[in-house]
Structure 1
Amino acid sequence: MTATDTELADELVGAIRSWVDREVVPNASDLEHADEFPQAMFAQMCEFGLFGATIPEAYGGLGLDATTYARIIEELSRGWMSLAGILNTHKIAATMIARYGTNEQRGRFLPRMCDGSVRSAFSLSEPDAGSDTRSIRCRAVPDGEEWVINGTKMWVTNGMRAQMVMLLARTPDDRITCFIVEKEPGPGADGLTVSRTIPKLGYKGLETVEMAYTDFRVPDANVLGGADGVGHGLAFALSALELGRINIAARAVGVAQAAFEAAMRYAQERETFGRPIYDHQAIGFKLAEMATKLHAARLMTYDAARRYDSGERIDLEAGMAKLFASEAAFEIASDALRIHGGNGYTEEYPVERYFRDTPLMIIGEGTSEIQKMVIARQLRDRYN
């Protein structure tokens, strides 16, 4: 990245930071408690061009590097983590098309995905196939120039509002293929239904749904990568999930930053025994540990993003960053709630929201236990 590129990146991140402070922070808790989709914030994110953040400029994207993207996700999550969730599954799908789609697919989908007029969901998990991605049962059977899809998908973020779904299904050769499902004119048409919305502890304001496919037809033209892409869907998805794990790690850093800042403010305002609680060693030491974990999580996230930008395979680094940052965010949010005492348990302070949001990062894009399996496997390969 040149000096000019760095200045432009800093300017964009600074603009988003200012917007988050001005528009998101004052309104996030009200929207979150109402579980209301942030339509005005979504529109502003489209104006910023964030839905095409890392997509090449030739297709209408911003062409940003992953490091700048991670910084943007961090700022959004500092205001309200759900905003980053609106982006993530969309960006996974867009990345898959940009990398593995045919020229026709790139030209047909990416410009509309970049301007936000077409939003995408990513659909891999099923009722009996979460982390065990090779156990998916959703089936796609060829029929002339179409594929007929049957099955149920779970945990589809943005599944109601998205106009497109990046769907992984098992084909008759027992391999997994990725299909670009166009929902227009809407769910329920031609065998696609949103069977239920899943209520959640946190991560509110955007929907997470179950989707059912019954004899749903997808044309050959919507097989990701065309005929050569049949059977390679899982490899396509796992490659794109490297960027998804950077997103999750950056989200964790953003929420942890917000929780830490809230705890610092409160510790200097709240007095007990005639002095601010910050002056009590028990609180001061806790804040010191929180700041150290936050700094380490940020550095690991940026390191994974820089390696991604350099073209390295980052299964190990992205897994480490996601593991450490998500666990650190949960610990920091928990400590922030404790520092707030009884006030932290009320809806009057935002730390209860941070506390409810952080478990999502421990689970999403592969649980911490799955990350440890990935890390251990990569370590053995590197040191064998």
Structure 2
Amino acid sequence: MQFTTPSEEQRLAVEVFRTFAQREVDPVASKYRHRVMPWAAAHEVQQMVAEFGLPGAAIPKANGGLGLSCATQGLLFEQFIQAGGAALPGVQDGIVVARLLLAAPPAIRERYLPDVIAGRKIGALAAMEPAQSLAQARLEEGYCLVTADEIRVANGINSDFVICPARTAAGPLALVVLDREAHRYEVRLDPAAGRFDAGATEVFSTRARVAPDHLLAHGDEAQGLLAAVRTQQWIHGGLSSVGLMQLELDEAIAHARVHEEFGRPMAAHRLVAARIAEMATRVESARLLCERCLALVDAGKDCETEAGMARWFAAEAAIGLQHQARQLRGVDAPEWVIPRRAFGDRAIETQKLAAAQMLTGISALS
């Protein structure tokens, strides 16, 4: 597979989006980094970002999107993260939700996709990761009775609907769309999670009678869509790590250029220079893994295994880079506000085990 440098059109799109994100996204992200964003503010941000292409950049024009490649959308998303977007998970989840709705039955696609692309509605994703507890479903007289108790959900508090996988008694998986108005689900912060962390500390509960027109997929089709959702989540989780690393690397380079030790710029000392080279290599290695996955998606190839590798590698690289940056910059280095659903020892270990299962066919998650 060949990699190409960004085209002039891609560079222009990235530059325009970078200017917008730094001016509009960063102030909002800083304000709500440690607390729940109010409903109105969350929807306002979603619509603001939608005007500049996310989450519909890679959705075909015929379906209301911009018709760009997933690779181009990845470039825009990294800029969004560098402008503080890691604290605003609705946009990242919106990208995944939009891709999932694109494959939905026409009635569901027409009901939700235009509003998601325009930022008028926020969709949440429940229990999409391996080893997470699933909701239970029972098919009865053409309806799907869904029961969910304390199921992990990303970005659910301000959501208008939740896409939820549910396990039926017979075993097959069902993917259902639960509408906040129609099904009255409840989302709250997990009291066991400690401090608020956007998109990672919310739990979801419902007992809903779901009509057939809200059943997105069932059986093998649902399993295939769930794999596609995980692939998109993992790729963009990796890009989140890349964006944060690039931001920290830029700060470290600037620090090493202007600060002196023993009468010389820090960058002139071999140990510091070697550390900066190591940090830059971490960033580029993680970025290349993510870009390869996006290229595979654009080519219509399955890349769930590669996406899992990209996500855990990027997260682990980001933790290592942060440690190096804090050593280099000392007290001048602020601690990141890292989304725990993408980082943390448990999340990384689970991701490694999931990747190993896809390679060996044997699960070590239980």
TM-score (norm 2): 0.85
Structure 1 window deviating more from structure 2 (369-378 vs 249-258): it is 369-378
Q: Which residue of 2 aligns with 1:237?
A: 226
- 1:1-384 superposed matches below 5 A: 6-25=7-26, 28-33=29-34, 36=37, 39=42, 41-82=45-86, 85-99=89-103, 101-124=104-127, 131-133=130-132, 136-184=133-181, 190=184, 192-197=185-190, 203-204=197-198, 208-214=201-207, 216-225=208-217, 229-230=218-219, 232-344=221-333, 351-353=334-336, 356-357=337-338, 360-362=341-343, 367-379=347-359
Give the whole-Å Cα distance in 1 for the aligned partners of 2:357 and 2:187.
Answer: 37
Relative to 1, partners in 2 of residues 1:274 and 1:359: Cα closer, same or farther, differing over 3 Å? farther
Give the whole-Å Cα distance in 2 for the aligned partners of 1:340 and 1:357.
Answer: 18
Gaps of 5+ in 1: 345-350
Q: Which secondary structure does the structure 2 equivalent of 1:77 belong to? A: helix
Q: Which secondary structure does the structure 2 equivalent of 1:169 belong to? A: strand
Give the whole-Å Cα distance in 1 for the aligned partners of 2:28 and 2:219.
Answer: 45
Check whether the contact 2:86–2:339 (CA below 8 A) recurs between aligned residues.
no
Check whether the contact 2:86–2:240 (CA below 8 A) recurs between aligned residues.
no
Summarize deviations over 1:152-180 as a string: whole Å, max 9, x none: 24332220111010011112312221001
Give the whole-Å Cα distance in 1 for the aligned partners of 2:31 and 2:315.
Answer: 25
Check whether the contact 1:150–1:213 (CA below 8 A) recurs between aligned residues.
yes
Which amino acid is the alignment partner of residue 342 of structure 2? M
Which amino acid is the alignment partner of residue 102 of structure 1? P
Summarize deviations over 1:317-364 as a string: whole Å, max 9, x none: 2222222222111111221122221232xxxxxx312xx316542359
What is the CA-CA distance between 1:51 and the residue it aligns to? 2.2
Check whether the contact 1:304–1:314 (CA below 8 A) recurs between aligned residues.
yes
What is the CA-CA distance between 1:380 and the residue it aligns to? 5.3
Gaps of 5+ in 2: 362-366
What is the CA-CA distance between 1:13 and the residue it aligns to? 1.7
Give the whole-Å Cα distance in 2 for the aligned partners of 1:140 and 1:157.
Answer: 20
Check whether the contact 2:33–2:87 (CA below 8 A) recurs between aligned residues.
no
- Structure 1 vs Structure 2 CA RMSD: 2.9
Give the whole-Å Cα distance in 2 for the aligned partners of 1:335 and 1:329.
Answer: 10
Q: Which residue of 1 aligns with 2:364?
A: none
What is the CA-CA distance between 1:149 and the residue it aligns to? 1.6
What is the CA-CA distance between 1:232 and the residue it aligns to? 4.0
Give the whole-Å Cα distance in 2 for the aligned partners of 1:122 and 1:378.
Answer: 22
Give the whole-Å Cα distance in 2 for the aligned partners of 1:36 and 1:276.
Answer: 42
Q: Which secondary structure does the structure 2 equivalent of 1:362 belong to? A: coil
Check whether the contact 1:329–1:358 (CA below 8 A) recurs between aligned residues.
no
Check whether the contact 1:82–1:203 (CA below 8 A) recurs between aligned residues.
no
Q: Which residue of 2 aligns with 1:348?
A: none
Which amino acid is the alignment partner of residue 90 of structure 1? G
Which amino acid is the alignment partner of residue 310 of structure 2? A
Relative to 1, partners in 2 of residues 1:259 and 1:359: Cα closer, same or farther, differing over 3 Å? farther
Give the whole-Å Cα distance in 2 for the aligned partners of 1:69 and 1:29.
Answer: 23
What is the CA-CA distance between 1:62 and the residue it aligns to? 1.6
Q: Which secondary structure does the structure 2 equivalent of 1:224 belong to? A: strand
Q: Which secondary structure does the structure 1 equivalent of 2:144 belong to? A: strand
Summarize deviations over 1:73-108 as a string: whole Å, max 9, x none: 111111214256222222222222212x11222222
Check whether the contact 2:90–2:122 (CA below 8 A) recurs between aligned residues.
no
Summarize deviations over 1:289-312 as a string: whole Å, max 9, x none: 101111111122111111111111
